[in-house]
Amino acid sequence: MTVAQSVAAILAFSVVLGWVRLLLWQRRAPASSRTRGWRLAALLALQPIAGLLLYSTLFPPASAGKATGTLVIATAGAPRFVTTGAGDRLIALPEASGVVGAERLPDLGTAVRRHPDAGALRIVGSGLEPRDRQATAGLAVRFEPARAPRGLIALQPPGPIAAGARFAVTARAGELAGGSAELLDPASRIVDTQPIGSTGEIALSGTVRAAGTTLFTLRLRDGSRALVEQAAVPVWVPASPSARVVILAGAPGPEVKYLRRWATDAGLAPQVRVDVGGGASLADTPPALTGATLAKVDAVILDDRAWDGLGAGGRQALAAAVRGGMGLVVRITAPVPRGWQVLGLSARGTADVAPVTLGADAPSDDALAARRGPGTRDAPASIAGARDTVPELTRQAVTIAGGIPVLRDIRGTVLAASRGSGRGRVALVSLQDSFALVTSGHGDVHAQLWSELVSAVARRPAGPAVQIEAPAFAGQRMAICGAGSISVTDPGGRGGRALVDPATGAAGCAGYWPDVAGWHHVSGPAARPFYVYPADALQGLRAVDRRAGTLRLVGSGGRTSVGTVEASRGPSWPWFIGWLLVAGLLWWLERARIGRGGVPVFERQTEIASRDPY
């Protein structure tokens, strides 16, 4: 119920109470002093009249002289020739170009102030910019949207990622079914490609090896391979401390050897302990499995033999660390007994092994070479295996129950699954010989496999303290949310301060107006970079945003929509004067003797007593 409806209900209830009071007064009064019929009718009639006048004072009706014309507003994407009716005024906003016969104004608010006699708006084109949407208050709005744009209409760049990890780019293309999407690295090499289906959904991925900021490129092509559009994809890899990993093994073997090499190459500085039998072990720095030491560890990787050999105390210490946020990966290397489980994840199966087929994580040889990079002295790119020579691996033939799949082969077989335990996560993996990927020249597949698995369970770092609205464009207001005052440095090194909006409360959101495109940096304890697109970038995406915002404004998703925005109201003072007159008349009529059947006995006695001098 709106405020106006609530006030109307209260006034109607008050009128009914007034009527009941008058009728009870008339009924209980002596016959000689009852109110005459015309006086009672006048009192009953004046009650609703007073209520209507009071309601009109609070909510005056629309002024008939206000809605005498329509403003036709040409926005971005409006046609050159816009049809107007008699009495209409054609206004072109700055985003509309080439509109014939239009009056050019800087914003909608200026147009409404300059033409106060207009009572309605007809919006033509892709829709209103955010700066103009509040100026429609008090006007009926009609929207005639332009045709949906062709090309990129949605883009979701990746958030902060770890060095060497895979990032995902999701997007949507309009009217490009049968075309293709490509993701290019900063060296303009294609790292991923995907055909565009009927829905236009796009999902591409890539990797970045070093911390810092960089720009990838999303390129869209039509069915004839002609370039339709390309857009920058900002990627930020924060310089964060390396994850701390402990590797435990119940026996030496190549799987542990190459797992340790992967962790070292990834900068994880692993601590490794390998049992060799007879109570002896090989270790870099023997890790103590206590609560204090495990609180500093991000993930523990061990096999089933090491898990069983820890004893009850060691397993309880690991379980407590997982509940505190640590990640745990258990490799199944042998048949497991009935009922075997790790922190709620169970495995059951036979003593057999099953084949596993993995695919090279790239759509082409060039993309694979771009993802692998130039190689190193120990592993030069020249010895890397071809894309179609990924070896067949083996896994323990077990079924992992109670978790969410993390790794699958190309046939969809689950190789690893994980589940939450407190604030941390635990995973079981049945893969036996992932080291064969490295020895066959596919170390990139091995590294990606273990990076995905460990990243799925490792201790989560604290998220960025500042949230940035994306995408941001030069010359357009954007929101930056975070605690305290926020200072921003533009690509030229000039500093500026975002203006905090007090209405956002604890969120601490501030408005910032970037002048130039490029990488900007938020200063202070919550320092982080963000990318600002040029003012003319992503035109299709911005057109879709304007269209959606204007359709929400008029309250309908149809092609031609008529809004229910309240019409312009007239002045309140005439109704207030009328209410004062009627209220005064009611006050006088209820107290005057005119129209009464007689003077009550107690009033005559009062009058006589007032005349008696004694």
Sign for the CA dihedral angle at 295, 296, 297, 298 comes to positive
Peptide bond into 464 cis (omega under 30): no
The pairing of beta strand 345-357 with beta strand 341-342? antiparallel
pLDDT value at position 381? 53
pLDDT value at position 560? 37
**Residue 424 host element (H or E):** strand 424-429
Residue 503: phi, psi to the nearest 5?
-70, -15
% of the chain beyond a pLDDT of 90: 9
Residues, the chain? 614
% of the chain beyond a pLDDT of 70: 82
Task: Summarize the confidence of residues 516-524 as an average pLDDT.
Answer: 87
pLDDT value at position 63? 54
Task: Summarize the confidence of residues 43-65 as an average pLDDT.
Answer: 80
Residue type for 284, please?
D
Express each pLDDT in 28-37 by its tens digit. 766 655 667 7
CB 260 within 8 A of CB 247: yes
Mean pLDDT of the chain, nearest integer: 80
Q: Which domains does the chain have, with CATH numbers?
A: 3-60+593-611 (no CATH), 151-239 (2.60.40.10), 245-365+385-457 (3.40.50), 467-533 (2.60.40)
CB 373 within 8 A of CB 381: yes
pLDDT value at position 604? 44
pLDDT value at position 600? 47
How many Å apart are CA 373 and CA 443, to the nearest integer? 12
Residue 585 has pLDDT above 70, yes or no: yes
Express each pLDDT in 220-247 by its tens digit. 998 888 988 899 999 988 876 667 888 8
The pair of structure tokens assigned to 422 is: 């407190």
Task: Summarize the confidence of residues 2-22 as an average pLDDT.
Answer: 84
50-54, 164-168, 385-389, 442-446: least confident range: 385-389
Residue 104 has pLDDT above 70, yes or no: yes
How many Å apart are CA 93 and CA 104, to the nearest integer? 6
How many Å apart are CA 320 and CA 337, to the nearest integer? 24
pLDDT value at position 34? 62
Give the count of beta carbons closer than 10 Å to the beta carbon of residue 316: 13
107-121, 228-242, 347-361, 421-435: least confident range: 347-361
The pair of structure tokens assigned to 215 is: 């720009």
How many Å apart are CA 103 and CA 92, to the nearest integer? 6
Express each pLDDT in 401-419 by its tens digit. 888 888 888 888 888 889 9
Give the count of beta carbons closer than 10 Å to the beta carbon of residue 347: 22
Which is more confident, 557 or 193? 193
